[in-house]
Every structure is written in C-alpha cells, then in structure tokens.
Chain A
C-alpha cells in the first residue's frame, strides 16, 4: 500500500526511460558541431582559393605591365630618367611574376598585394597545371631575354640589342602568357566555385539532418510524455478507484501532522463531512475525542516519524486503537461511534536511493457494530451472572410469595415516589416526607427480612440510613432528597430485574419443594396457604440468629379466616413488626435465660382468632424479659423532648404509650432488626387505620403480650379496601 502511495506522489528519476532522448540530443549537437567544423574548414580553403584567384589575376596584370614597360623602355632610349623608372618597374614586375608562377607550380611563399607574404599551395587541377606548364615554357625564354637586358643595363654595357630582343620576346609571348594566366585565373575561380557549392550542399544536408533529428526528438519526447501522462493518469484513476471503494477511512499525514490532499470517500461517513485536505490531525480529533487523547495521539504519530523507533514495536501504544467518539448532530444529540485508527509508515526514496519516512498512512475503521455486539455479549454475560446470583438468592423463596413480595414492593415504591412527588414548599412538609417514606421503607424491609431477601433488606436499610440523616438535618430542602431518589431508582431497577427473572423462571413452572400443604384455594397468589404464613417462622429464626438468640415460634389460627389478601398483607406487616420486637427486645440471650433459670430456647406465640363474625384478635406473646420500663424512661429522658421530672413521674402505662411514638426505640444500636423506633409506630398507625385496638401486658422477667383487636375483612370484599 505504501509503495503505491509514494510512486503516485513523486515519480522517481529513471535514467533508462530518458536514454533515447539523451542520445538523440547528443546526436543533434554532434551533427551541428561537425557541420560547423566543416564549414570552418571549407571557408578557410575558399579564403585561400580567393588569394590564389587574386594572385592569378595579378599575373595577368603583371604580364601586361611587363610588356607595357618594355615598350616604354624601347620608346624612351633617349630619356635616361624615364628609362630608369621603367626599368625598375620591369624588374619588380618580372620578380613578382616569376615568384608567383613558381609558387603556383611548386608551392611556396609569395608577396601579396599589401606586400605581405602569403603561402600558396601548388595548383592541383589538371587545366591549371597545363596552363602553368605552358606559361613556364614561354616564360623561360622571355625571362632570360629580360634578364640579359637587365644585366647589360646594370653593367653599363650596350643594351640596345638585348632590349630589342626582350621587346621582341614581349611581342611574341605577351598575348600567349596573358591568355594562359587568364586560363589559370578562370580555372582557380572554377575550383573555388565548386568548393562553395560543395559547402552549400553539405550545409543543406547537415541542417536537414539536424531538422530530422529535431523532429525525431520532438516526436519521441512528446510520445514519452504522453505515455507517462497516461501511466500517471491510470495510476491516479486506480488510486481514486481504491479511495472510492475501500471500506476504511484512509488518508496520509505529513511530518507536520497535516492531512494530505486525498482521502477515501469512506472517511466522510466515518468522521462526518468536513474539509479534510490540509487540516491538522489535531484539529481533526479536537471535537470528537478528549483533548488529552488528541495530544497523546499526536505524540504517537511523531514517534512514527522518528526512524529510530521500531514501528512494529509500538503498536500497543496506539492511543486510538479503540476510541469512542461523539459526533455532534444537527438535532442536538450526539452520534457515538467506536473507531479504530491504525497508523503505518509510508516511505519515499530520495535521490540517493535511501528510504525516508515521508508520511504516515492513517486507516480509520468504524467498529461501532462490533463493539456494540461485544458489549451486548458482555452485558448479557454479566446479566446472566447477576441473575445467577439472584436465582440463588431467590431459590429459597416460594415463587408465589416472591411474586406477592414483588407486587407489594412496587406498590411501596410507587407510594414512596408519590410522597416525593407531592409538592412541598414549607420546610415542615419537606421534613414530613422523610417520616412517611421511612414508614414505607421500614415495612418493606420487614417484609424482605421475613423472606430472607437479603439484598432488598440491605437496600432498604441503607435507605433508612439516608432518611435518618435527613430527619436529623437542619434546614432540610427538597434537594437533600436526591440521594434517596437515586437509591429508590436503583432499588426499582433491581426489583424489575428480579421480576423479569421470576417471570422467566415461572415459565419452567418448577414445583417447589415447599408444596402447599393445603391446595384447596382458588387464589393462586393467595396467602392463606400454610406457607403464606410459614415465612414468618423463617423471619423469626433469621432475626434470632442475627441477634444471638434461640427461639421457638408457635403460630396458630392464621389460615382459619379467609381474609382479603391486601388486608392480610397489612396484618402480616403488623405481625412482622411485633415478632421482630419480641425477638430483639423480648427474648433474652441464652446466657441470660440460663442465669434466670428459664429454658434456653425462648418461645414466641402468634395467634389469630376470630372473636366474632366481624372481629378477630391477634396475639403476639413472648416469654422474654418483659417491657423494660426503665430503659424506656432513660430513652425518653435522652430524647430531651420532655422535662426529666415529668418523665420520672410518668406511670408505666404512659411510658408504654411512648413506644408507639415516632422515632422511639430502646435498642442501643441501630441494626437491621431494630433501633429505628419506627416499627411500633407503624403498627399503631395500621391499627388505628383499621379502627382496631391494642393492649399490652407485660411482667418483668416473665413475658410480654400484645393483643390487637381488628375488624375482619373477608376475601370477597377486596374492592372496598382500596389503598
């Protein structure tokens, strides 16, 4: 992948690809140079030829001048001065002519027009050589005659005859020599002209070749350009095709952590539409992950640009290997995605063929679905585990009882929520809510305890703790209830889970081991079965065990009256409170009982008896230490609500009334089973609500007995007892 990218980004220099064009250009230059060189050479030669033509022309002129001078000499024999001038001229002409003729024939130096020395090459053409040979032939006797005359004249001898000979020679040869010299000139001119023609031809050929070469280069080069353009275009098309189709977000970042020009189309789906090219990587992450994560990511990419760091050995440090991003949506919400960023080095070869890290290729994968699936699996596993825990907690409870408990629980939660919901603007009304809720949750706790549903019991206990704090808080506000509401919410959630689970378990319709002993009832959820009350024994034993006591629980008459189920629930609540009190406050620890010579195992009797068609009597009696009036008095003093002297003067009956008051308990410490001082108050409020009566009798060290008289509400009258 990285290879594709770097090729596309910068084509490498390839000598092979340009070999043809380099050779062509070299050939072009060579051709031009050789034409030029030849041009030079020929030009020099033509210049030389021109000198030859000039000198040949001068020979013509010299031959005429010699003849003319001879005739002048012949005519001025009586004029010594004119004679002398003419003689000198003859000498000069004769010397030049002879010298030039020799030079033409054999090659050699000769004085040129400006008296400078020029070197002549021997004439090579046949016609020229012929002319020269004939001229030399004629010249020999002509020259000898002139020389004889010159010798005679210079020696002062009689020169008349030798002059006459010379003049005669001139007359004879002059025309022939002129004609020969003329031939020479023409011949030389012809040679020069042919050379110029050759030069023109060569120049034309050279330039034509150069043009052809040029055209070839042009054609070749353009074709190569077009080919390489085609290759690039093809590569570009392939790249775009790849970028259009890959399923991942792809882009490159450079050393400055800036995004490259191209990116895959998918990137827009993954990160949302935006201008990617030229954006800094940090800016890209800015609004979708935390600032710290973005910085760590930038640091990580910098590591990738450090060639010393081993790419393979830092994969684990990738901070964006699984990252949750939140992409703002136009409707005000956020789209949460899980992305996987991976980073890979992209290399480029520099001019020395050394690979350097040029970019980091970033691949972004949207793995939201995968993560969701994993989470769902995890969640369901966790859910299963917690359900398993729940099941083990619930297994000991009879399904019908549990169902009833859950229904009651939701009722209770709803009542608590209604209390919270009630607008309360005065401090007192806010405070009163704590008391009302406490009553509800306390009953709930009692019921949970009776079924040994420890989780519910604990949760209720914690809520009682919260409520106790609220009750004691000064300047109580609605806001202070927040913690309680949170507890309520989580308790509701838990209860819903349990309900859900029991529904599922219900489908298996497992016949529990505690099969009802009497099956003659029409109400499946009805609690008039033996086991409907049987859990009270569990409750008693449970509380006894927690408090280090030994108790025998004897119940009777509970199933004999066909009570309305809701009403029965209330009776049960009362029983739970009274039984709890009997165990915690009544029955002594075994050691104390031993000391007072009582049976080690305490006894608690619960009896429900019909006393008339419309009334029944509920009796709870324990053989414990009896009511501790001193403890009640001490506690009353401790509350500080009444003057101490007044309390001292109170009768036992008056003190007894206190235990039914709100927030009064004689237990030393708050525990799940006692100490809130709400239980008895709740019993009282239930009894009063049903227009019943309570009587208490107690004998110190012997027993304590609560007798409650209540109206009977038969099963078919349930509608009348709403709420």
Chain B
C-alpha cells in the first residue's frame, strides 16, 4: 500500500483523484491546494507518491517539484495538467517528476498512470 499526496488547486480534481484512489493499492494521506501547502503536508505525512498540478497560485508545480525532490529524491511524482504548453510539462519532468497525465482524464487512465509510475 502506497501513501499518496494530491496537489491541485481545483477542488473537483482533488476529489476526483481521492475518489478513485481509495483502493487497496494507494492510500490518500494528504491533499494540498497549492505548492506551499504541499510542502507542509509532505513534511508531516511523508507520502511515497505525489500527483502534481502545474498551474497553481502561490507556488507553482515546477517550484514545488524542485523542493519536494530536494527532500526526497526517491519520491514518485506524477504531473497532472492540461496541455497548454508542452515545454512546461517537459520542464517539470526535468526537475524530477517521472510521468505526465493530461487533463481531462478518466479514472482508469489515472489508475493506470499511477500503477505505471510505481511499477519497479
């Protein structure tokens, strides 16, 4: 069972991810609405897997990924974002995220992506 933190400024997306991850494989331990909150919650809950939105108020996803990776280089981060700018997505992966899922996504796509992300 892997612990999961959700970082997304949209309530709807957060709830969607929470809903489909209350499975026997992942356990949602934290849910953050922006980068700063994510860092706080990370320190408290130390999740193994993170889903990360890129465009958020206060601290954006890229900065957040950079800081999270500094704390735990083994952290598995899945970027979940709408595809307006591929270059930003690529930058996020260069900073240490390991996968990218494009919004909008179905529950199956999300589960599949998380499984692939944590499979090794």
Contacts and interface: CB of A to CB of B under 8 A. Distances in A.
A312 B116 contact: yes
A303 interface: yes
A592 interface: no
Contact of A310 (B86, B90, B116): B116
Interface stretch (A21-29, A281-289, A294-302, A704-712): A294-302
A292 B87 CA distance: 9
B87 A310 contact: no
A259 B90 CA distance: 22
Interface string B98-112: 111110000000000
B113 interface: yes
B99 A313 contact: yes
A313 B117 contact: yes
B83 interface: yes
A309 interface: yes
B100 A316 contact: yes
Most chain A CB within 10 A, of B87, B96, B97, is at B87
B100 A308 contact: no
A296 B85 CA distance: 10
Contacts of A309: 93, 97-99
B87 A314 contact: no
A317 interface: yes
Nearest to A317: B89
Chain A interface SS verdict (over half): helix
B72 interface: no
A319 interface: yes
B93 A317 contact: yes
A300 B89 CA distance: 9
Contact of A299 (B83, B91, B113): B91
A309 B93 CA distance: 7
A299 B116 contact: no
Given A296-B86, A319-B86, A313 B101 contact: yes
Interface in A294-338: 295-296, 299-300, 302-303, 306, 308-310, 312-314, 316-319
A303 B87 contact: no
A316 B113 CA distance: 12
B93 A314 contact: yes
Query: Which interface class (under 10, 10 to 19, 20 to 34, 35 or more) fits B?
Result: 10 to 19
A303 B101 CA distance: 15
Given A317-B89, A319-B87, A302 B94 contact: yes
A306 B97 CA distance: 11
Contacts of B102: 316
B6 interface: no
A310 B89 contact: no
A302 B89 CA distance: 13
Contacts of A312: 99, 116
B94 A313 contact: no
A318 B87 CA distance: 9
Given A314-B99, A314-B100, A299 B117 contact: no
A310 B117 contact: yes
Contacts of B93: 303, 306, 309, 314, 317
A369 B17 CA distance: 39
B99 A299 contact: no
A300 B99 contact: no
A244 B86 CA distance: 33
A142 to B, nearest CB: 100
A239 B78 CA distance: 37
B100 A317 contact: yes
Nearest to A320: B86
A319 B101 CA distance: 15
Contacts of A296: 86-87, 90
A300 B96 CA distance: 13
Contact of B94 (A295, A303, A310, A316): A303
Interface in A393-439: none
Contacts of B116: 310, 312-313
Most chain A CB within 10 A, of B87, B90, B100, is at B90
B99 A310 contact: yes
B13 to A, nearest CB: 17
A303 B78 CA distance: 14
B83 A303 contact: no
Contact of B86 (A306, A308, A317): A317
Interface string A689-719: 0000000000000000000000000000000
A319 B117 contact: no
Nearest to B113: A313
A312 B98 CA distance: 10
B83 A316 contact: yes
Nearest to A310: B99
Contacts of B99: 309-310, 312-314
B99 to A, nearest CB: 3
Contacts of B97: 309
A542 B117 CA distance: 66
Contacts of A313: 78, 98-101, 113, 116-117
Given A310-B117, A313-B101, A314-B100, 16 more contacts: A292-B87, A295-B87, A299-B90, A300-B90, A302-B94, A303-B90, A306-B93, A308-B98, A309-B93, A309-B97, A310-B98, A313-B99, A313-B116, A313-B117, A316-B100, A317-B100
16 contacts: A292-B87, A296-B86, A296-B90, A306-B93, A308-B96, A309-B97, A312-B116, A313-B78, A313-B100, A313-B113, A314-B99, A316-B102, A317-B89, A317-B100, A318-B86, A319-B86
